[in-house]
Amino acid sequence: MTTNPALARSLAERDYTNATPVQLAVLAPEAATRDLLVSAQTGSGKTVAYGLAMAETLLGTEERFAPATVPQALVVAPTRELALQVQREFAWLYGATGARIISCVGGMDPRMEQRLLNQGAHIVVGTPGRLRDHLERGSLDISALRVVVLDEADEMLNLGFREDLEFILDATPPERRSLLFSATMPRGIVTLAKRYQHDALRIEVASGQGGHADIEYRAIRVAPTEIDHVVVNVLRYYDTPGALVFCNTREAVGRLLAMLQERQFSAVALSGELSQRDRNHALQALRDGRAKVCVATDVAARGIDLPNLGLVIHADLPNDVESLQHRSGRTGRAGRKGVSVLLVPPFRRRRIDDTLRGLSIKPVWSGPPTSEDIRKLDHERMLGDAAITDEPSEEDASAGLALLAAHAPEHLAAALVRLYRAGLPAPEEVTDPGEERIARTQRDRAAERDLGGGGFDVGGTWFRLNVGRRNNADPKWLLPMICRRGNLTRKDIGVIRILDEETHFEVAPVAVARFSKALRKADRGDPIIEPLPGGRPAGDAERPRGKPHQGKPPYEKPFHGKKFHKEPGQGKSADGKAKGGKAAFEKPREGKPLGPGKGERPSKGERPDAGKSGPKGKRSRRP
């Protein structure tokens, strides 16, 4: 790899002996001085790649910059964390060149940034909004710019920065060199490249050329009610110096963080509700080793570069391919090995298979790590612990002899084991739904035979939920929530009645034991589910035992996920029009319709099983 002599020495000091594919591609002879459109995933070494490519234009063969005046290079990144990471990478890469590198990012003092810019800069790194703000105020002069870099351009478009990017690029000199890096190439990126690049060389290294070659993908079957417990066991099983756990909402981040801290994990959180000061404290705790686990949402984790990050856990599965790539790309960076673990409930198995197949990823499928697996690893790690394998000091050896004089060796060994285990979070008892499903099917079939072939038609067990019409109870999220909490399927749920203050629902006889066991694992903040006092709703007649009914009045028709039962007599009126109108869950005849108003449905995040009820404000996607 040929590059500027000063940068070559910086690389050698950092033991950069083997260039990554993207670094080789941008330094190839055909790429010299040209605009570049590069498809490169997070963790492929792209920051160093465009740092080297910029040096060809800014320095040539010269080893040092002239005194700083107006910026010669501009790097635009989607988040403040990524921008500050780029600044840190450039600080050592350009350390021998005398480069003055200034960052301009949201959350920092703009007046301080303005004073630094007035003192002169060779390279400016910033986020779109803050860079535009400095341009509009006249504190940033890019009239002499020679290189502009857009890092993670697809993410900047996803976050709504198109207008800011166009404003910045329109202000750059037309003869400047343009380097555009993006993990994916959606239509918006292609349009941006055609408008602002000239005869760009297309470089694609995101797939098949080592983009995520250092990442091992594991897919773990989990019961929907045991996801948090499986997270605990996966963290204990791999025991990496740094781990990143992804959730889809900030409520889920807060719940999982509280659970991990309660179980003695040194964990911090990153979500959109944190102030910049809190984010900085969390990141610093991860960098200096005071915290080993970070629980985060996708947007909050953009651009962060954590040292020794060996494990990524998808506690909530990603919503699209791009999110999976960006999440997993936080590990397996710059030649280091990493593991990306997806926790897959049974109903998501097919979708995850299709997603991974589309990325040519072949994961290792398994059940969750068991407590026995973890205890066995704990034993092996203890035997290899430095406290045992290292030669003791003279003082330690003397203390050891004193202990041997007072206690038997077996007693001291047992005490050592006890002390070692005391500092470790206890593993959780979890099940493999792959094996559980086979046993469950056999139990359910046997129960159906005992009940005469229509187990649910002979009447189920009633439960109540402390959420009703006044909490925006709605069938669209009630049914999935009950299934998730109780490890059930839709066919296990019968009649659901939504009242003002609570909801009553029926569970099939073959599923009652499984449902009751799952309820005992409820987390704080979950809606309360308990058996209905009296066994059945008031005034509700017991179904006759014997031959299963055929769904005709006067008996209730069980709910199987698609249709809802009708009340006896709910047929046609005298004028021939149907009574009852739209199908709906059974509810009291008095009162108003379900939902917060006419036809309204709760927005995302309003579900009581997320810890809150009632409407919530929209979330901003801007960092």
245-297 confidence digits (pLDDT tens)? 999 888 899 999 999 999 999 999 998 778 778 888 888 898 888 999 999 98
Q: Last residue of a domain, which of 373, 402, 421? A: 373
The angle, 0 to 180 degrees and rounded to 10, between the axes of the packed helices 80-93 and 46-58 is: 60
Weakest mean pLDDT among 57-61, 529-533, 542-546: 542-546
Mean pLDDT of the region 478-506: 85
Contacts of 313 (CB under 8 A, 6+ apart): 231, 234, 235, 243, 244, 245, 246, 341, 343
Residue 109 covered by a domain: yes
User: Over the chain, what is the mean pLDDT?
Assistant: 80
Q: Please tell me whether residues 256 and 237 are part of one structural domain.
A: yes
pLDDT in tens, 454-468: 445 557 889 998 888
Contacts of 32 (CB under 8 A, 6+ apart): 56
Q: Is 587's pLDDT higher than 70?
A: no
Residue pair 575/502 in contact (Cβ under 8 Å)? The answer is no
The pLDDT value given to residue 568: 44
Q: Please tell me whether residues 77 and 168 are part of one structural domain.
A: yes
Listed ranges 200-209, 307-316, 589-598; the one with the highest mean pLDDT: 307-316
Task: Tell which wins on pLDDT, 512 or 342.
Answer: 342
pLDDT in tens, 557-573: 444 444 444 444 444 44
Q: Please tell me whether residues 224 and 93 are part of one structural domain.
A: no
Q: Is 327's pLDDT higher than 70?
A: yes
Q: What is the dihedral of CA 581, 586, 592, 597, to 10 degrees?
A: -80
DSSP label at 18?
A: S
Q: Within 10 Å of residue 615's Cβ, how many Cβ atoms?
A: 12
Task: Tell which wins on pLDDT, 614 or 95.
Answer: 95
Residue pair 505/486 in contact (Cβ under 8 Å)? The answer is no
Distance CA 528, CA 503 (A): 11
Instruction: Return the CA Rg of the chain.
Output: 30
Q: Is 435's pLDDT higher than 80?
A: no
Q: Please tell me whether residues 151 and 200 are part of one structural domain.
A: yes
Q: Please tell me whether residues 170 and 223 are part of one structural domain.
A: no
Distance CA 359, CA 184 (A): 12
Q: Please tell me whether residues 466 and 597 are part of one structural domain.
A: yes
Half-sphere exposure of 537 (CA within 13 A, CB side): 19
- Residue 575's SS3 state is coil
Distance CA 300, CA 309 (A): 16
Distance CA 484, CA 461 (A): 18
pLDDT in tens, 407-416: 998 888 888 8
Q: How many helices (H) and strands (E) does the chain have?
A: 21, 18
How many domains are there within the chain? 3
Residue pair 232/260 in contact (Cβ under 8 Å)? The answer is yes
Q: Residue 128 is part of a domain; what is its CATH number?
A: 3.40.50.300
The angle, 0 to 180 degrees and rounded to 10, between the axes of the packed helices 128-137 and 162-171 is: 50
Q: Is 591's pLDDT higher than 50?
A: no
Q: Please tell me whether residues 184 and 221 are part of one structural domain.
A: no
Task: Tell which wins on pLDDT, 18 or 558.
Answer: 18
Q: Is 71's pLDDT higher than 90?
A: yes
Q: Please tell me whether residues 339 and 461 are part of one structural domain.
A: no
Q: Is 622's pLDDT higher than 60?
A: no
Q: Please tell me whether residues 359 and 467 are part of one structural domain.
A: no
The pLDDT value given to residue 219: 95
Task: With cut-offs at 50, 70 and 90, classify the pLDDT of residue 440.
Answer: low
Residue pair 504/496 in contact (Cβ under 8 Å)? The answer is yes
Query: Sign of the CA dihedral 308, 311, 314, 315?
Result: negative
Q: Please tell me whether residues 112 and 17 are part of one structural domain.
A: yes
Residue 357 covered by a domain: yes
Q: Last residue of a domain, which of 185, 204, 223? A: 204
For residue 352, the enclosing domain spans: 215-373
Residue pair 78/155 in contact (Cβ under 8 Å)? The answer is yes
Tell me how far apart the 2 most distant CA atoms of the chain are, in Å. Answer: 101
Q: Please tell me whether residues 220 and 161 are part of one structural domain.
A: no
The pLDDT value given to residue 546: 41
Half-sphere exposure of 271 (CA within 13 A, CB side): 18
Residue 45 covered by a domain: yes
C-alpha pair distances (Å), 494 with each of 329, 474, 483, 509, 608? 44, 16, 12, 10, 21
pLDDT in tens, 335-390: 678 899 999 998 888 889 988 888 888 999 999 999 999 999 998 888 888 888 88
The pLDDT value given to residue 388: 84
Omega before residue 554 within 30° of 0, cis: yes
Secondary structure element (H or E) that encloses residue 416, with its range:
helix 409-422
Residue 392 covered by a domain: no
The pLDDT value given to residue 145: 96
The pLDDT value given to residue 208: 43
- Residue 578's SS3 state is strand
Q: Please tell me whether residues 199 and 76 are part of one structural domain.
A: yes
Bridging pattern class, strands 215-221 and 201-204: unpaired
Residue pair 431/227 in contact (Cβ under 8 Å)? The answer is no
Weakest mean pLDDT among 392-396, 481-485, 618-622: 618-622
C-alpha pair distances (Å), 125 with each of 104, 280, 583? 6, 18, 58
Distance CA 152, CA 42 (A): 8
Weakest mean pLDDT among 45-54, 70-79, 192-201, 547-556: 547-556
| Rounded percentage of the chain residues whose pLDDT exceeds 90 | 35
DSSP label at 455?
A: G
Residue 381 covered by a domain: no
The pLDDT value given to residue 175: 92
B/e letters for 557-585, b = 16+ CB within 10 Å, e = fewer, are bbbeeeebbbeeeeeeeeeeeeeeeeeeb
Bridging pattern class, strands 293-296 and 267-270: parallel
The pLDDT value given to residue 123: 97
Residue 319 covered by a domain: yes
Question: Phi/psi zone of residue 239: left (φ > 0), alpha (ψ -120 to 50 degrees), beta?
Answer: left
Mean pLDDT of the region 228-256: 93
Residue 615 covered by a domain: no
Q: Last residue of a domain, which of 320, 339, 373? A: 373
Burial class (CB in 10 A: 0-12, 13-18, 19+), 52: buried
Place of tokens 């465009």: 50
The pLDDT value given to residue 391: 87
Distance CA 312, CA 295 (A): 10
Mean pLDDT of the region 499-512: 88
B/e letters for 370-403, b = 16+ CB within 10 Å, e = fewer, are beeebeebbeeeeeeeeeeeeeeeeeeeeeeeee
